[in-house]
Structure formats: structure tokens, C-alpha cells
Structure 1
């Protein structure tokens, strides 16, 4: 049975340094929940607090209605997959996977059955008699996965488990992990700094910065509707364009970019002042005669799309991606162009608070 994981005002301090600053999060039973952020944001610290490896300096951590703050790690019913695999070099694949079951004094016949099932799930049953030094990195990671879920944990914790693998293998293994998680229905909390990995694998994501949660949402929500400029800039690529905002009714407001280019955007409430437009490269497009005037600095052909770097008249650099199926010719370096966007597709932020103000 999977647990709900509830974090209430969690605090962790190391001397004067605050690693976690009153974090509130709720992970649903059976959910694949990712903690995403740059190094030092507090994501691994929080994971280790959930695991019982780090003490809780403030707040509360629950599995369902059971308070975990002072419960020993081995009593929490968790499975853990580490960045460095942490499998025993002197044991075979089969012995590594069986280790946790033997520690729980599970009957021998049941151990054999569950280990075989686990190795089947990660597709390495034929390697059961090999030692770790005879395995590739991806195979070792599969052993670590099998060992974590063979004990049938209520919560599975994963700390950057793919960071030691090459790029192609990371893509393959994240698919394996997602399929396993869906099949087993285990509440899974996953830590990564890789934005693409988080978007591909998660049901929901918490983006963290400096010990605080900046936004929680589905991958689509996080990518399309970032709630602040940090999330907009951290997830994928965003072009930030300064503008002036003026609107009295909160429904439609005028955005003025540069001297004379104005578009109308729906805002949550009335606002007047400096704003910032955030536009993804694929949200920008070339227009015939209106928009932001600029010059192509360089173009990069990437197969299914062309990546353009464009310098505006004010010196700002934008990235625009144009799909090859929509492009008749490749624009030349030095060519004058007009860049435009659909106002309802981009996001607008208050330049002072960096919080979103568009609908």
C-alpha cells in the first residue's frame, strides 16, 4: 500500500545556513513526484529528511497520519536508490537484490520468488549470477532499482539515480523507471537537477530554490505557466523581454516593447509599471512587417528545427526555433527580420516582484 507523504513547514539548518526554509508539500499515494532545482537548493536535504538520514529541525513529516520526525530510518518502510548505486561489490546480482529480504527474515522460498520477479521486471534475470564489476552502468542501476522495490516499500526515494549514466542511457533508464513506477503504483519521490528528465518522468514537480518551493505543478503547468521568472528561466529556455504594462481593468492590458510596438495581453488584475515578457523559443515566429526588429546573428540547423540567434535593435539577444516543416528557406546571418509572438501564449511578470501577472 502506498502512502501519502505530507511535509509541513519543514526546516533544516546547518549552523547559520538555512537549507530548508519552512517547506510545505503534499505527495499523493502512488504519485511520481519530483524535487527539481539547482545544486544547493535543498532538494536532497529534504529527501534525506523523509528517509530519516537527516534530523528535522522544524516542522513535521508524515506518511499518511503517522508522524515520522523521530522514527528510525529502517522503520519507515522506504526503498532508496542512490546516485552511486550503492550495491555490494562482493555479492552477485541475485544476492544484492535478496539482501533486504534476508534482513527482514523473509522465508527462503519467498525470497527466491520475489527476487526472480524483481529481476524479470528490470530485465536482467539472465545476469543474476554476475558480480557488479561484470555489469555496465545501466545494468548496475537496474540492480539498485530491483533491490529497492523488491522489499515492497510504501515510498520509494530516488536521489539523482541517472546522473552517472551517459546521455542516451539516461533517456532509456528514465523510461524504465517510469514504466516500473506505474506498474507497481509506489509513491515515488525523485530528486534531480535535470529539467528535461523531470518533465519526462514526473506526475508533478516541485521547483526549489534556496530552500524554498517556487512552484508545484504538472510538467505541462510548470513549462507553460511558470509562476515566476526563476521557474521560467530554469525550466527549458526562455527569452525575457522588457516592457511597459498599462491596464486598468485587469482583463486586457497594453504591453509596450521598445518605442512603439504594442500588444494586448490579459492580466489577472489591473497593473501599471515595468513588466517582463517570457517567451519560449518555439513561441516566437518571423513576421513579414511587424514585431520586434532584429538581425540574424547565427542559425543552427538541428534536423527537425532551426535554432536562430537574433539581436534586437536594443542589443538584446533572442532565441527563436522554427520547425523545418514550416520553413521554406534558411535565413542568412546578417539578415534583417521581424520577430513576433502570440500574446496569449506568453507569460508576463511584474519586473519588481518577478511574479506572474498574466492570465
Structure 2
């Protein structure tokens, strides 16, 4: 049975350095939950605390109703997949996968059956007799996956498991991992710095920065409604445009982006003054005669869409994506353009605090 994982005010210190500053998370049974953030943000530290490899210096971590702060790693009923695979070079594929079952003193007939099933699930049953040095990186990663889930853990932890694979193989493996996790229903906590990977495989994501949680949400929530400028800038591409907010009509504020251009949008609270607007490249569009004025400085044809770099007349540069199914030709560099956007889909922030103002 899969665990819920509850983390309350978790703190980790290394001397005078505080790696985690009171983290709070609640991970549901059977959920695929990803810790996402740049290097040094504390995501692997938190994962190792959950695994029992790092001590907890404050707060508590619970599996369901049981506090596990002082429970030894080998008693936590977890499976772990590491960045470097950590499979034994002197054992065959089948022996590697069987290792944890033997440690648990599972009967031999059951070990053979479960190892065969595990290798079939990750589609390497034909490699059972090979040694790790005879396998590709993707095959070794499948061995590590099979070894982790064959023991039927209540919790599966993965630390950057795809970072050593090439781009095409990473896409294939993340699909395998997602399908496997859904089939087995094991609560899974996954660490990565790759935003696309996190969006592709997660039920929910916690975005981390400097030992703190910046936002928790579904991939769609994280991407479409970032709660602060860090999340908006870290996940995908965002254009940040300076603007002024004034009182408007009908419960909406007036967002003034240029002397000749303003739009109306609802806010979470009353606010007037300077603000930062954040818009994804696909949220911008070319307008015939109104909007922010600028000039195309570069265009890149990428098959499904054309990526335009546009220098606005106020000196800022933005990126706009125009999908090729909607247009017949690529706009030339140097063309003068106007840019519009849907005010209900962009995000607005207070520059000094990062507070989100948009609904």
C-alpha cells in the first residue's frame, strides 16, 4: 500500500548554512510528485531526508501517521533510483533486480517470478543474463527502475534519473516511467531540474528556490498561473514587461503598457502603481494596428511554430511564437509590428515583493 508523505516545517542545516528553511508539503498516496528547481535549491537534500540518508534538523516527516525522522533508511519501505543508476557491475541484470528480494528473504520461486515480471514491465526480459557493461545507458536505467519497484515499496524516490541520457532517450524513458508509475500506483517523489520533464510526467510539482517552496500545483497551474516572478521565469519562457496600473471601471484595473496602449483586467486586490506583466510567447499575438509597437529583430522557423524576437519601442525585447498552422508565411526581419495579448491569461506582479496581482 502506498504512503502519503507529510512534511512539516522541515529544516536542514550544514554548519551555518541552512539548506532547507522550514518546508511544508503534503503528497498524496499514489501521486507522482516532482521537486523541481535549479542546482542548489535543496530538492535532493529534501529527497535524501525522506529516504533517511540525511538527518532532519527541524520539523518532521511522516509516512501516513508515522513520524519517520529517526527511522533507519532500510526500514522505511522505499525504492530508490539514483542519477548514476548504482547497479552492481559484477551481477547480471536478473541478479541486480533480485538483490533486494534476496535481502528481504523472499522465497526463490517468488523471486524468479517477480524478477521476470519486472523485466517484462520495463521491456528488457531478453537481457536478463547480461552484465551492466554490456548494456546501453537506457538499458541500465531500466535495470535500476526494475530493481527499485520489484520489492513493491510503499514509496518510490527518483533523483535526476534521466540526466545522463541523451535527449531522445530521456523522452522515451520519461514516458516509460510515467506509464509504469500509473500502472503500479506507487507514491513517487521525483527530483529534476528539467522543466519540460517535470511538466510531462507529474501529477503535481513543487518549484523550489534557495531551500523554500515557491509554488505547488499541477503542471497546468504552474505553467499558466505562476504565483511569483521566479516561477514564471523558471518554467518555460516568459516575457516580463514593465507597466503601470491605475483604477479602472466595472471592477477591473487599467494596465497601461505604453502611452498609446492599455488594457483592462481584474486584480486580486486594489492596487495602483508600477507593476510587471509576465506573458508566455504563445500568449502574445500580432495585431494589425494597435498594441505594443516594435520591430522584428530575428525569426526562427521551428516547424510547428515560428519564434520571433521583437524589440519594443520602449527598448525591451520580447519573444512571440506564431503557429505555422495559423499563417502562410514567415514575417521578415525588420518588419514593424504591433503586439497584443489576452489580458485575462497573463500574470501581473508587484515589482518589489513579487506578489501576484492577477486573478
Give the CA deviation at 1:251.
3.2
Structure 2 length as normaliser, TM-score? 0.99
Deviation track 1:113-162 (CA, whole Å, cap 9, x = no partner) reads 11001001000001000000000000000000000000000000000000
Query: In 2, Cα distance between the equivalents of 1:277 and 1:267?
Result: 12
How many pairs does the alignment contain?
359
Partner of 1:234: 234
Deviation at residue 15 of structure 1 after TM alignment: 1.0
Give the whole-Å Cα distance in 1 for the aligned partners of 2:184 and 2:77.
15
* TM-score after normalising by structure 1: 0.99
> Over aligned residue pairs, what C-alpha RMSD do you find?
0.9
C-alpha distance in 1 between matches for 2:37 and 2:325: 34
Contact 1:80/1:148 (8 A) holds in 2: yes
Match of 2:41 in 1: 41
Bigger drift between 238-247 and 1-10 goes to 238-247
Q: Give distance in 2, aligned partners of 1:250 and 1:225.
A: 23
Give the equivalent residue in structure 2 for 1:336. Answer: 336
Task: Flag structure 2 segments of 5+ consecutive residues without an equivalent.
Answer: none
The secondary structure found in structure 2 opposite 1:345 is coil
Distance 1:15 1:261 in 2: 53
Task: Indicate if the aligned counterparts of 1:248 and 1:271 stay in contact, CA closer than 8 A.
Answer: no
Equivalent residue of 2:207, what SS? Answer: strand
Q: Deviations over 1:169-197 (max 9, x none)?
A: 00000000000000000000000000000
Aligned to 2:120: 120
Give the Cα separation in 2 of the matches to 1:244 and 1:15: 44
SS of structure 1 residue aligned to 2:50: helix
| 8 Å CA contact retained: 2:295, 2:336 | yes
In the alignment, what sits opposite 2:224? Answer: 224
Pairwise mapping of residues 56-67 of structure 1 onto structure 2 (< 5 A)?
A: 56-67=56-67
**1:87–1:144: 8 Å Cα contact kept in structure 2?**
yes
**For each residue in 1:32-79, what CA deviation from the matched residue of structure 2 results, as whole angstroms up to 9, or x when unmatched?**
000000000000000000000000000000000011100000000000
Please tell me whether the aligned partners of residues 249 and 269 of structure 1 are also in contact (alpha carbons under 8 angstroms). Answer: no
Q: In 2, are the aligned partners of 1:251 and 1:269 still within 8 Å (CA)?
A: no
Cα distance in 2 between the residues matched to 1:145 and 1:220: 27
Q: Give CA-to-partner distance per residue, 1:79-102, whole Å, 9 cap, x none.
A: 000000000000000000000000
Rounded to whole Å, the distance in 2 between the matches of 1:183 and 1:334 is 52
Q: 1:204 matched to which residue of 2?
A: 204
Superposed structure 1 runs of 4+ greater than 3 Å apart: 248-251
Mark the runs of 5 or more structure 1 residues left unpaired by the alignment.
Answer: none
Q: Secondary structure at the match of 2:25?
A: strand
Offset, 1:250: 9.2
